[in-house]
Amino acid sequence: MANTRSVGSVLLGMVVAAGCAATPTPQPQATHAANVVPVASPYPSTYQPKQVPPTLIRGATVLTGTGERLDAADVLIVAGRIKAVGRNLQAPADAQIVDGHDRWVTPGLIDVHSHLGVYPSPQVRGNSDGNEASNPVTANVWAEHSIWPQDPGFTTARIGGITAMQILPGSANLIGGRSVVLKNVPSVTYQGMKFPGAPQGLKMACGENPKRVYGSDKKFPETRMGNVAGYRAQWIEAQEYVRDQDEYQRKIAAGEKDAKPVKRDLRLDTLAAALRGEILVHQHCYRADEMATVIDMSKEFGYHVAAFHHASEAYKIANLLAENHVCAAMWADWWGFKMESYDGIPENIALVDAAPGGCAIVHSDSEEGIQRLNQEAGKAMTAGRRAGLAISPEHAITWLTANPAKALGILDQTGTLEPGKMADVVVWNRDPFSVYALTDLVFIDGVVQYDRAHPAPPVSDFLLGQPAAAGVGP
Amino acid sequence: MKRVLACLLALGVIGSAGADTVLIRNATVHTMTAAGTIEGDILISDGRVAAIGRGLQAPAEAQVIDAGGLPVTPGLFGGLTHLGLEEIGLEPSVDDYALKLGAMRPEFDVALAFDPASVAIAVSRGGGITFAVLSPSTEEGGGGQQSGTIIAGQGSVVGLNGEPTTYSRALFLDFGGDTSSLAGGSRAAQFMLLQQAFTEVRSPKLLLPDDQRLLTPAGRQVLKDFIGGAGVFVFNVDRASDILQVLAFAQREKLRIVISGGAEAWRVSSQLAAAKVPVIINALEDLPGSFDAVGATLENAARLHRAGVRVAFTLDEPQPHNIRKLRQTAGVAVANGLPWEAGLAALTRVPAEIFGVADRFGTIERGRLADLVLWSGDPLDVTSLPDRVFIGGKLQSDRSRQTELRDRYLERVRNGTAR
């Protein structure tokens, strides 16, 4: 769970920080220097889906992610995009046909909260890269620079139907750094997984974790009021940075000769981008009262919180969240692993969802949970129904498809099976909310990235040649 | 709340909760005994299962529940857990599951710390769990505290009816890479230290001077009791080669043991089967979380079962709050090849047998105390919930701190005032 991880990783973070001060090897660069210009969007995505023939999935139960359920329906995928969803679709001549009889089709699942790659398996010190717990504010770090694409957890998540996910820094810090949205495709580099055009996120954290990590060493912050003072001081600096940058741009535009560029600062670059809405703010926050404080703070500084993560008490302020268009990303049933999660209940997701305009998201924060977000949703749906709330499967699927896509700023690209969107599609062997449901096929941009009928050798280099992983049983 | 009330009224339960005589009609009864699954009725009387069969007559005073064909199972197992030992994680004042004295103290018994009023108990009971194994953990020190040792201490079976009664005993040991730091930095030293402790018990004449001994006199007595069969040794260990070393040690010392963890147990399933050593696994473990678990697979349970090894389930962490998730892990094991009946047995009869409480927990049998659950559907599926939970023949309240919170805020969300 999140809490045990952050405790461990804090200690490890210290070791790593101390051990990483090796002298960088000078790189020969003189010959190309003349060609080097700053890149507006550095570390860009290199992901390009393979070109494959069209696919027609025929006669399945389709949950579109838009709240609709179509029985005995077809899904047509052409050139990596959803071409059509409906009955009796015509297959193009070269189409692969998938028999959807007795199968269910959903959009690819999206996890807004994962640490795959930054806290990979095996959880060894050498790969523990999720919390830069050397300062309570590390808006300058980017999670993508920690990702180990060989994490076997990417594969097991893909088998669970995950086609996209947000990889976040940990929650040791008030401001932990930038997150990245990935397509869950095999790649040697994280750039090869980067979701084209997806905005980055900013990870912030409420409550016990920053308090514990720094306060236990008598460092700032050691209280919740310290936490809030810590964020506010940063936003004030960021506002000044934005003002100075805007002023510089104004002067340049006006042709004023004394225009001096603002000295670049990685930390303030990130915070300024969040204030401008170019980076989406995701805040780890359990308690209702703290979420309300953060909403007020977002108004004080003029930014928007995309989602609260974990949000064990979101149900207590379901209307407040909905009115402020803030999503809550939650577990189905975890609670009690620390004081701020003591009031978590299994109806949390259903209650957030029940508020008019509510945006409920099922998230994992776990290399295990990410493999079965569908089951988490099944539990949440069942708990909600027992409380008397009417929740249909076609609605519940939005908790792990359209709603996370919305919180990540990629709903125009994926998250539903609407024509024109990326063909991120899962074919299940049965009702996906059952514990017995397995994915038969996982498409990402129309390409089959998992096929249960044709198991592939391990995707992760780590598992190659490991005798124990050979999987040969009695 | 209203819905629940309506159901209880419709079923004629209200006003007679805790009544001594209950007839559950038209159930699919998974007895988990040789009798197998019975489509029929169960009569509960004086806290016990008075009869199981078709067309049972309801005594005049009996409350009758029509199950409508739904499943009834024995009350479920909650795994190896800190239930009643850890009210909240990360809060030392309510965390009593780990001894950090830096000394090997098998006499440490967490049952003394068990709080039957922990709110996690009613929550778990609402998930169909009626018994669990209190389990101590080893932890590293820090913050001025010493570390634990490879012997975590003793635990017991408890029921979830809010009473402090404990049943049977078990001694918990932590082996493998995760805890090599508790044995001077090598897993080889885990065996060395355990052997030394056994020598102190078995050969008192060879005792070293006081300051070089591992055990206190009380510790020697406890270990002697366990060697003599007072309870099972639970070895928490994952790597195949470590499991084989544990099997060899147990054979040499003639111990009754069980493996917990066992991520790579499937790799040594024939040896486990031959030694008749059961395994308590986390059925969700399929990633190489450590180098000890490189062979982790969702088929662990299925492969062990196929090889004739008895399998029970526990969660990956002993954190007690969400042990109701255990039946989901059984469902996942079934989805990955374990027969359904074996999945349910791993949550009922098998753990009861492993911990020597099969006469009290884990089956539905005539004459036995009635711990059973009526389900809204397949008990291993996430879309089912318990409809009724009986412990010792008494219908348990479905209220918990969580249902109180739910009902308070459900009302506010409905009124649009949750803010």
pLDDT band of A37, cuts 50, 70, 90 = low
> For residue A151, what are the domain limits?
2-14+109-412
Q: What pLDDT digit, counting tens, does each position of A168-216 carry?
A: 999 999 999 999 999 999 999 999 999 999 999 999 999 999 999 999 9
Spatial separation of the C-alpha atoms in residues A447 and A53, rounded to whole Å: 9
Q: What pLDDT digit, counting tens, does each position of A385-434 carry?
A: 999 999 999 999 999 999 999 999 999 999 999 999 999 999 999 999 99
Query: Is position A280 within any domain?
Result: yes
- Do the chains contact at A468 and B264, CB–CB below 8 Å? yes
pLDDT band of A34, cuts 50, 70, 90 = very low
Spatial separation of the C-alpha atoms in residues B18 and A37, rounded to whole Å: 79
- Would you state the CATH architecture of domain B2-73+380-406? Roll (2.30)
DSSP state of B221: H
Indicate if the pLDDT at residue A7 is higher than 60: no
The low-confidence residues of chain B, meaning pLDDT below 70, are 1-19
Query: Is position A294 within any domain?
Result: yes
Query: Is position A210 within any domain?
Result: yes
| Domain positions in chain B | 2-73+380-406, 76-361
pLDDT of residue B405: 98
Read off the pLDDT of each residue in A451-466 and give the average, rounded to a whole number.
92
Query: Is position A275 within any domain?
Result: yes
Spatial separation of the C-alpha atoms in residues B240 and A469, rounded to whole Å: 12
Burial degree of A389 (CB within 10 A; 0-12, 13-18, 19+): middle
What is the overall mean pLDDT for chain A?
Answer: 92
Question: Do residues A347 and A315 make contact, with C-beta atoms less than 8 angstroms apart?
Answer: yes
pLDDT of residue B91: 95
Q: What pLDDT digit, counting tens, does each position of A281-303 carry?
A: 999 999 999 999 999 999 999 99
pLDDT of residue A456: 84
pLDDT of residue A469: 80
Specify the number of domains making up chain A: 1
From the list A3, A381, A474, the residue facing B89 with the nearest CB is A3
Length of chain A: 474
pLDDT band of A29, cuts 50, 70, 90 = very low
Class of domain B76-361: alpha beta
Secondary structure (3-state) at A164: strand
Indicate if the pLDDT at residue A129 is higher than 50: yes
Residue of chain A whose Cα is closest to the Cα of B325: A333
Indicate if the pLDDT at residue A6 is higher than 60: no
- B 263-292 near A (Cβ less than 8 A): 264, 266-267, 269-270, 284-291
Beta-bridge mates of residue B23: B43, B64
State whether the Cα torsion A337-A339-A341-A342 is positive or negative: positive
Q: Which residues have CB under 8 Å from A170's CB, separation 6+? A: A2, A5, A6, A9, A115, A118, A119, A130, A131, A133, A176, A203
pLDDT of residue A19: 34
Residue of chain A whose Cα is closest to the Cα of B305: A474
Query: Is position A125 within any domain?
Result: yes
pLDDT of residue A208: 98
Indicate if the pLDDT at residue A242 is higher than 70: yes
**B256 lies within 8 A of chain A by CB:** no
**ipTM given for this complex:** 0.94
pTM: 0.93
**CA-CA distances (angstroms) from residue A204 to A31, A210, A409, B299?**
42, 10, 17, 38
pLDDT band of A39, cuts 50, 70, 90 = low
Residue of chain B whose Cα is closest to the Cα of A371: B284
Q: How many CB atoms lie within 10 A of CB A264?
A: 10
pLDDT of residue A298: 98
- Do the chains contact at B417 and A319, CB–CB below 8 Å? yes
* Closest of B355, B350, B139 to residue B233, by C-alpha: B355
Query: Is position A352 within any domain?
Result: yes
Better-scored residue on pLDDT, A412 or A5: A412
pLDDT band of A439, cuts 50, 70, 90 = very high
Query: Is position A454 within any domain?
Result: no
- A 95-134 near B (Cβ less than 8 A): 121-124
pLDDT of residue B19: 54
Query: Is position A31 within any domain?
Result: no
